[in-house]
Amino acid sequence: MALSVVKTDIPEVLIFEPDVFGDRRGFFMETYNRDQYASKGLDRLFVQDNYSHSAGGTLRGLHYQLNHPQGKFVFVVKGEVFDVAVDIRKGSPTFGKWVGQILSETNRRQMFIPEGFAHGFCVLSETADFMYKCTDFYHPEDDRGIHWADASIGVSWPVDNPVLSDKDSSLPCLKNMAEDELPVYKGP
């Protein structure tokens, strides 16, 4: 077997299926190998790793950084989430479009969310441990977001009444965002 890539409706958003080697003792997998992933289209330098533990029904997002955009390489260690990437780059041919993917400890899929995209996930299991690598550092003053239930985007979240932070429940809709609060598409 070899690392495989699943293409999505937004070409820059990539789903990876890594090799998993298992036997009666358990399993082993490389969660990231720069050379292998670069050969499959993910050639980025990651500078920060984050770990999130969330209760069932929790929805985090849709987040992005404006002046220090973060590409995110995400996967689930324990549990199951529905992960979402939304293209919010002004001038992009896929502006306002989204890709969603179930990531779990069972399917071991990984997803790359490019710079200039809003990102969020909701927890489908009792709890979930979620890991992600970032292409830039977190800058709190640069933190932005879009409301998770923005009808103009129309994400089909698999939860009706998610558990939200105060911040996430009060984020604006995309149509109410000032032009200078959105990243700019720089081409392929």
Sequence-distant (≥ 6) Cβ neighbours of residue 113 within 8 angstroms: 13, 71, 72, 73, 74, 85, 119
Active site annotation includes 119: no
Contact call for residues 73 and 112 (beta carbons, < 8 A): yes
CA distance 120 to 178: 21
Residue 63 among the catalytic residues: yes
Rounded Cα distance between 14 and 40, Å, is 9
Q: Which residues pair with 118 in a beta bridge?
A: 86
Question: Which of 37, 64, 119, 132 does the annotation list as catalytic?
Answer: 132
Of 63, 64, 119, 147, the catalytic one is 63
Contact criterion met (CB below 8 Å) for 133 and 93: no
Q: Which residues are catalytic?
A: 63, 132
